[in-house]
Every structure is written in structure tokens, then in C-alpha cells.
């Protein structure tokens, strides 16, 4: 069986490693950080575990929830409480309309009565069924498509705060085929997005989380790896062709000039090397491109062209009394980018997640608090980078006060930064990714890309990407477990 090196111990890399090992492959996982999880990161704040990375799983995509159950965390799954998500408008907070998702409306009447659109904007949105079939290609943006279907107000006031906030991006630059493939498929096959026949929503919650935090998943995956598989604090500096005159992971010296067919060498910052039949590369594009520059300049250039936004997550814990603030009875807040504010979204954690409020939390962790998670940072907006943690937290708090009317200062604050890690699946993304994949197949056969930097955020997308990478690393005749 082949030896596969997995670079990156996030959810994608660890899932790929688990499946490769189940197929009988020898696997080495290299992670530059001192912990596993990547953008699944749970921290202790105000006496409880809170997520500063991804905070939830989309329950309509079964794979992440099924993985949690397989790893023994089925009883830790917590459904989100039903509640209103607010949109900040010039006329105050308005509810996100029912049936409105990241890719636009599925029902018209809730959008019209939500009070987010002007009368003219509502009329324009209602004309969508008369627009005729849409034309979709890799140069079509999400915003461009929805502008044409529903008018600019729907895009600016609803799609931008929801989808744009999710991606920290510009919806008029995000590719409809890469960022919202389901929307692209529907637009290609139906004359109207509103009149298409839709499946009724299934029972149960839309979003769920884990009682101990989302980092429980990668921790459980790492705990299941064979001893000696995972190497933390191991930064990879380059990926080269062949074995060359280098010492392998077990200490053996390869013959000078040995270029075993199709093998590659992975070199770490401390000089250690691993000779491999394949590599699953899951790091952010800004990290991956320099690793490939020597052996595949064309792939490195294509990957280097993939942009990513910097994001900062601020945890703010307030006195429990602020729960009486009417706006905080909702589950969260979305802010359109055109308002020019630092804050792009906030989750009212103590309202949204039942395990984060109530007497049980108080008894176990001391005085009860009301916890808010605030997110700031969008592509091409560098204010997050230019503010220190104290300034950032103060700005975010004041914008929360202005939006919700909460009347207390936070008792505890923590800021976690994610520099250039939010991938931008912009127009032309599929072409850039195809160019990188083609160059790798030619220059470094066996090296495959996987994970959020290339397929976008979302645990479901990351798990699918891991499975695709495994299938490419193992001969097609090999029977693999699901």
C-alpha cells in the first residue's frame, strides 16, 4: 500500500487520513500548529467552551452529523433554538424573511412583508418569474445573477449580509458555480427560481453544534490515529519531486539521484523529510503556493491567485441582565456591507444554543453571563488588520450597542484572528483551480488539493473534498470504506 502524507490536521486532513488508514495505506499527518482542528477551534472563555472558528453544522447535509455520531459525539449534538435572525437596516432591525437562504429567496411573500425592501424593490422582486431562463457560466457572479432575477435591493439588503457575511466576500465577485453550485444548478434547469418545484423542508433543526465545541470532531479524529501518525509543530517548507539525497522519516538514507517513479519528498522546517507516493495538501492557498513553487511554478501561481479574507472573532460576555434587551431575544444579527461597519455578523450564543444558558451553566461555571460572538472582516477591508485587540473589541461592542440597544459593558472579552483564511471563490475560481490541478498532475503526480481553500467553507464541502482526495490517492480498483 502507498505512503500518503497529509499536510494539515484540520477536519479535511484528518478525515482523509482516517479513510486512507482504513484502506490500508501508511499515512503521515503534518501540522504546523501545536493543535489539531484548523478553523474548528474551541476556547475556554468565561468558564465555558465557546467556538472561535466554525460554530455549527448544517443539518440538511448529513455527512458532518453522521461523522459526529461515528466518533461518539451523538449525545453531544445540540440543535439551535428557533428564533429570529435580524438584518440591520436604515429603519432598524428587521427579521430575515422565512425561506431566505444564502443563495436568495425560495418564497416571495415572506420577503415582501419583511419590511426590508422598498415598495419599488418589492415590485421588482415580484417580477422574477417573468424574467425567463438564466444563462450561467464560470464568469457569472452570485450578485450578478440575483440582480438580474430579483433586482439590486434583494442582493444588497438580503443576499449580501447573509451570503457575503458567510464568505466575508463581495457577492458580485463570488462565482455562482463555485460558491453556490446548488443555485447554479437550479438556475440552469428552471425558468424561475421562485416557481420551481421544491422539496418541503424536512423535520428537525437547520443547524446543530456540539456541547463541547466543534473542535471535538478533529480531536476525536486525531485520537483515533495510530501512534506516530500525527506530527504537530511541524511546518512543511517545500514539496519536491522524487526522493533525492535525503534522510527519510525512519532515518534511512535514500540513494543519490534516486527518483522512484511518481514519488515526492516533503521537507519540514527542521530538515526532516518524508518520501511519499502521494500528498493531500489542505493548507490555505497562501501557505500551499510557496510549497509548490520549486517543483510546479505554474500550480503555485494558480493557487497564489486564490484570494482569502482576514477575519476576527470577538467573544463578549455581558451581565445576564442584558438578556432582557428585546433584540437579544433573537439568535443573531447580520449587517449589510454597504453600511460600512466593522461588524458583519453576531451570534447571540446564549439565545441560540440551549446549552449555553440556564441554571445548569450557572451552577457549573459560576455567575451566569450572556455570551455574544461577533465577527468582523471582509475581503479588501483592512480595518481588522489595523486595529489592535482592544480597539477592535471596543468598536465591535459599540456597534452592537448601536444596533441592539444593549446597555452594559462586557465583563470579559477575547479576540481571535484568522489572517487570510476565509477563501474567496470568486468569478473564474473553477478555471484557476483546474489550472493548478492540471499543473500538479504533470509536475507532481500524486499531490492533490483538498479542503475549504479550494471548495469553500462548510463542513459538508470539506468532507466531500477529503473523500475525493482519497479516491485520487488510492488506485481506483481498491475497495474503500465510505
Q: Please tell me the distance from the alpha carbon of residue 160 to that of residue 333, in angstroms, as a whole number.
A: 13
| DSSP letter, residue 164 | I
pTM score = 0.90
Owner of C-alpha cell 466575508: 168
Of the candidates 371, 323, 314, which has an alpha carbon nearest to the alpha carbon of residue 344? 314
Owner of C-alpha cell 475581503: 379
Work out the average pLDDT over 463-472. Answer: 96
Residue 410 CA, chain-centre distance (Å), reads: 27
For the chain, which domains are there? 3-38+215-306+426-473 (3.50.50.60), 43-80+207-213+308-423 (3.90.660.20), 96-189 (1.10.3110.10)
Contact of 222 with 9, CB cutoff 8 Å: yes
Q: What's the pLDDT score for residue 41? A: 98
pLDDT mean across residues, the chain: 90
For residue 281, what are the CA distances in angstroms to 14, 40, 294? Answer: 11, 18, 16
Sorting pLDDT into bands at 50, 70 and 90, what band is 358?
A: low
Give pLDDT tens digits for 135-189.
888 789 999 999 999 999 999 999 999 999 999 999 999 999 999 998 999 899 8
Q: Which helix (H) or strand (E) holds 87?
A: strand 85-89
Task: Spell 209-227 as b/e; 16+ CB within 10 A means b.
Answer: bbeebbbbbbbbbbeebee
Q: What's the pLDDT score for residue 361? A: 55
Here the cell at position 458 is 462548510
| Least confident among 107-111, 162-166, 223-227, 395-399 | 107-111
Burial class (CB in 10 A: 0-12, 13-18, 19+), 326: exposed
198, pLDDT greater than 70? no
DSSP string, 231-294: ESS--EEEEEES--S-B-TTSPBPPTT---TT-EEEEETTS-EEEESEEEE-S-HHHHHHHHTT
Amino acid at each position: 500500500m502507498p505512503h500518503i502524507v497529509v499536510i494539515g490536521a484540520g477536519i479535511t486532513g484528518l478525515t482523509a487520513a482516517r479513510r486512507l488508514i482504513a484502506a490500508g495505506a501508511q499515512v503521515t499527518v503534518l501540522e504546523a500548529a501545536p493543535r489539531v482542528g484548523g478553523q474548528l477551534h474551541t476556547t475556554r472563555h468565561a468558564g465555558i467552551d465557546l467556538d472561535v472558528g466554525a460554530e455549527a453544522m448544517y443539518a440538511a447535509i448529513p455527512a458532518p452529523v453522521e461523522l459526529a455520531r461515528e466518533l461518539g459525539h451523538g449525545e453531544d449534538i445540540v440543535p439551535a433554538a428557533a428564533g429570529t435572525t435580524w438584518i440591520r437596516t436604515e429603519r432598524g432591525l428587521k427579521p430575515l424573511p422565512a425561506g431566505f437562504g444564502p443563495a436568495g429567496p425560495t418564497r416571495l411573500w415572506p420577503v415582501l412583508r419583511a419590511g426590508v425592501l422598498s415598495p419599488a424593490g418589492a415590485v421588482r422582486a415580484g417580477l422574477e418569474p417573468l424574467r425567463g431562463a438564466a444563462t450561467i457560466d464560470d464568469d457569472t457572479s452570485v450578485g450578478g445573477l440575483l440582480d438580474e432575477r430579483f433586482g439590486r435591493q434583494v442582493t444588497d439588503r438580503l443576499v449580501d449580509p447573509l451570503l457575503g457575511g458567510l464568505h466575508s466576500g463581495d457577492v458580485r465577485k463570488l462565482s455562482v458555480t463555485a460558491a453556490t453550485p446548488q443555485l447554479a444548478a437550479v438556475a440552469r434547469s428552471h425558468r424561475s427560481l421562485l416557481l420551481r418545484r421544491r422539496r418541503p423542508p424536512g423535520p428537525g433543526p437547520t443547524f446543530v453544534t456540539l456541547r463541547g465545541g466543534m473542535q471535538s470532531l478533529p480531536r476525536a479524529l486525531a485520537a483515533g490515529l495510530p501512534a506516530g501518525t500525527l506530527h504537530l509543530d511541524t511546518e512543511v517548507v517545500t514539496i519536491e519531486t522524487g526522493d533525492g539525497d535525503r534522510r527519510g522519516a525512519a532515518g534511512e538514507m535514500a540513494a543519490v539521484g534516486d527518483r522512484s517513479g511518481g514519488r515526492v519528498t516533503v521537507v519540514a522546517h527542521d530538515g526532516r523529510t518524508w518520501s511519499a507516493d502521494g500528498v493531500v495538501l489542505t493548507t490555505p492557498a497562501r501557505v500551499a503556493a510557496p510549497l509548490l513553487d520549486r517543483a510546479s511554478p505554474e500550480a503555485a501561481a494558480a493557487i497564489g491567485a486564490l484570494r482569502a479574507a482576514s477575519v476576527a472573532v470577538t467573544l463578549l460576555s455581558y451581565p445576564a441582565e442584558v438578556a432582557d434587551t428585546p433584540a437579544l431575544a433573537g439568535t443573531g444579527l447580520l449587517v449589510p456591507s454597504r453600511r460600512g461597519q466593522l461588524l458583519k455578523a453576531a451570534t447571540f450564543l446564549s439565545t441560540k444554543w440551549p446549552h449555553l444558558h440556564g441554571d445548569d451553566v450557572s451552577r457549573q461555571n459560576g455567575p451566569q453571563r450572556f455570551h455574544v460572538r461577533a465577527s468582523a472582516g471582509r475581503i479588501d477591508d483592512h480595518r481588522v488588520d489595523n486595529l489592535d485587540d482592544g480597539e477592535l473589541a471596543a468598536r465591535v461592542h459599540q456597534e452592537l450597542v448601536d444596533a441592539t440597544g444593549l446597555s452594559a459593558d462586557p465583563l470579559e472579552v477575547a479576540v481571535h484572528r484568522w489572517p487570510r483564511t476565509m477563501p474567496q471563490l470568486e468569478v473564474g475560481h473553477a478555471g484557476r483551480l483546474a489550472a493548478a490541478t492540471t499543473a500538479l498532475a504533470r509536475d507532481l503526480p500524486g499531490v492533490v488539493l483538498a479542503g475549504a481553500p479550494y471548495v469553500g467553507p462548510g463542513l459538508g464541502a470539506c468532507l466531500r473534498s477529503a473523500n475525493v482526495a482519497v479516491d485520487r490517492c488510492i488506485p481506483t480498483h481498491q475497495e474503500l470504506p465510505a
